[in-house]
Amino acid sequence: MTTRNLYHSKPAQWAVYGLFFVIIALIPAFVSDGFLLNQFAVYGIYGMLALSISLCWGFGGILNLGQGIAFGLAAYGMAMTMQMQSQDPDSNPIPPFMLNNSLEHLPWFWQPFWSTGGGILLALVVPTLFYVVFGTLMFRARVSGPFFAIMSLAMLSAFATLILDMQPYTNGANGISPPSPLSIFGTDIDPYGPTAYWIVCGGLIAVTVGAKLLTQSKFGLVIQALRGDPERVRFLGYNVALYETCIYAISGFIAALAGCLWVMLIQYVSPAQLDTTFSIGMVIWAGIGGRLSLLGAILGAFLIQGGQSYLGDQFLATWLLVLGAFFIVVVRFLPKGLAGLLEKVLGALARQPGKHARSDLPHAISGAPAAGE
């Protein structure tokens, strides 16, 4: 085992993850600029989204181009929760935009959002439930691969259209901007302060650890198996549709959490959060970072969004051109993304002469990517 690729060593992986967690947790110690802190927190949310894509696409082989559904629906739930915090049941019972749309009562489905806890709970549960229903429908019918990708895209369009059309309840294209920050237990969470950053950071660490453990469980193994050959898995006695629905819904739940936190930071939601470009963007983050590596996907999001913010202004008009070309190169030459590149490099190092290269077993070195990473 001396020549095993370090990339596949579980202790090494956990060490790298731990280091990453320490670094992101320490950022507020060095950054006091409210703008930067808020921006980094937003990147953390993009990281969560990339991770959710990595789970269902990288590990489960389910290419989901409609992750904006969970993100967007949850964001609407959170925005309404925060909006209702600024309303008063007696003197000011409905949000201004509803008043302007000639509503006299708060519609029943927004009623639970009077309660902060209830609102956040619904923001998380409703999108996840939708994923369960839609996933069950699609996976039972064995819609898979590109067909599923297109259907998720169509569903995303359908939701965006519906939200636009339901203007009295959603404020249509203008979206909802709650006038004040989220308040929990009587404390305002300043979107530009360290508290908000730490909430996001804690969320990111929690979902990353959870996802990592999940991929290392038996469930994770079955998911990776069905990515390659769902039929074989079926004949081994596993209910493939149920497994696919599970991983799809889990990834949806993570995206929903990201949506909630995002609104906490941005205080705004609109149908643009259900734009196809945004959802496909998530896939690009994960693809470039490495869809088979959770951390790779997260860093992919940081890299691309950071590039968009900081390089974008220099390139201005050519940014999308550069991004598109970069993505093409990654798909063509590095299907496992930048993490896959690292895997190759470490693999090559492990094969260095003098270390008992096991020439009879080249496969052992170039390695099983599947064991979690």
Partner 1 sequence: MTSLDIAPFANALVLGLSIASIWLIAAIGLTIIYGTVGVINMAHGEFIMLGAYTSYALQSSLGLPFLLCLPASFAVVALVGLVIERGLIRYLYNRPLDTLLATWGVSLVLMQGVRLIFGSDPKYIAVPEIFQSNVEIGFASLSVFRLVVLAITALIVAATAWLFYRTRFGMQVRAVMQNKEMAASFGINADRVYMTTFAIGAGLAGVAGSLFGVLAIVLPTMGTAYVVQAFLVVVVGGGTLMGSVTAAGLTGELQSVFAFVTNDTFARFLLYVLIVVFLRFRPRGLFAVAKGRR
Partner 2 sequence: MGVLEIRDLHKSFGGTKVINGFSLDVTELTLCCLVGPNGAGKTTTMDLITGRQKPTSGSIVLRGDDITALSEHEIAQRGIGRKFQVPAVFRELSVRQNFEVAYSREVNPFRNMLRRRPAGFSAKLDEVATLTGLKDRLDVEAGFLSHGETQWLEIGMVLMQNPAILLLDEPVAGMTESEIEKTIVFLNELKRTNTLIVVEHDMGFVRQIADVVTVMHMGAFLAQGKLSDIENDPRVREVYLGEPEV
Partner 3 sequence: MDLTRRKLLKQSSLAAAAIAAPHLWLPTAREAWGATLKKGEPIKVGLLFSLTGQLAVPEEDSTLVMQYAIDEINKNGGIAGHPIQPVIVDAKSDFNVYSEKAKELIIREKVIALFGCYTSASRKAILPVVMSQNSLLYYPTCYEGAECTQNTICTGPLANQHSKDLIPYMVKNFGKKVFFVGSNYVWPKESNKNAKIWLQEAGGELVGEEYIPLGSSEFGPVLGKIRDAKPNFIFSTVVGASDIAFHKQFKQEGFKVDSMPIASLTTGEIETKAMGAEFGAGHFLSAPYFQSLENPTNQKFVENFLKSKYGKNGSTHYNMEETYLSAYVFKAGLEAALKKTGNIEEVTSRMIRDVSGGVRVEDDVSPEGLIWIDGDNFNSWLKPKIGQCQADGSFKIVSEAKEHVAPDPYSIYPNAGKCTATGLVAPDGKSRKNVI
Q: Note the residues at the interface with partner 3 (CB under 8 A).
A: 28-29, 31-36, 38-39, 42, 91-92, 96-97, 99-101, 161, 164-165, 167, 171-181, 187-195, 198, 266-268, 270, 272, 278, 308-309, 312-313, 316-317, 319-320
> Residue 130, interface with partner 1 (CB under 8 A)?
no
Q: Which is nearer to partner 1, 22 or 321 (CB)?
A: 321
Euclidean distance between CA atoms 357 and 313, whole angstroms: 48
Q: Using the rule CB under 8 A, which residue among 82, 153, 176, 233 binds partner 2? A: 233
Q: Which is nearer to partner 1, 114 or 319 (CB)?
A: 319
Q: Does 149 bind partner 2 (CB under 8 A)?
A: no
Span interacting with partner 1, options 96-104, 156-164, 216-224, 340-348, rule CB under 8 A: 156-164
Distance, first Cα to last Cα, the chain: 18
149: its two tokens: 């990708």
In this complex, which beta carbon is closest to partner 2, that of residue 81 or of residue 245?
Answer: 245
Of 207, 246, 288, 299, the residue at the interface with partner 2 (CB under 8 A) is 246
Q: How far apart are CA 103 and CA 351, in angstroms?
A: 70
Q: Which is nearer to partner 1, 1 or 317 (CB)?
A: 317
Reduced to 3 states (helix: H, G, I; strand: E, B; else coil), residue 190 is: coil
- The contacts of residue 234 (CB under 8 Å, 6+ apart) are 240
CB-nearer residue toward partner 2: 78 or 233: 233
Strand partners, 176: 269
Is residue 335 involved in binding partner 2 (CB under 8 A)?
A: no
Site for partner 2, residues 191 to 220, rule: CB under 8 A: 214, 216-219
Count of residues interacting with partner 2 (CB under 8 A): 35
Q: What is the Cα–Cα distance from 84 to 78, expressed in whole angstroms?
A: 10
CA–CA separation, 241 and 218 (whole Å): 16
Burial class (CB in 10 A: 0-12, 13-18, 19+), 170: buried
Q: Which is nearer to partner 2, 90 or 360 (CB)?
A: 360
For the packed helices 218-228 and 194-216, what is the interaxial angle rounded to 10 degrees? 70
Question: Percentage helix, strand, coil, to 5, in the chain?
Answer: 75, 0, 25
State the binding partner of 149 from partner 3, partner 1, partner 2, none, CB within 5 to 8 A by kind.
partner 1
Residue 21 or 192: which CB sits closer to partner 3? Answer: 192
Contacts of 360-368 spanning 24+ positions with Cβ under 8 A: 364/3, 364/4, 365/3, 365/4, 365/5, 366/5, 367/4, 367/5, 367/7, 367/8, 367/343, 368/8
Q: Which of 120, 222, 303, 338 binds partner 2 (CB under 8 A)?
A: 222
Rounded distance, CA 133 to CA 241, Å? 12
Q: Provide the binding-site residues for partner 1, judged by CB under 8 A.
A: 57, 61, 63, 134, 137-138, 140-143, 145-147, 149-151, 153-155, 157-158, 161-162, 164-165, 231, 276, 280, 283-284, 287, 317-321, 323-328, 331-332, 335
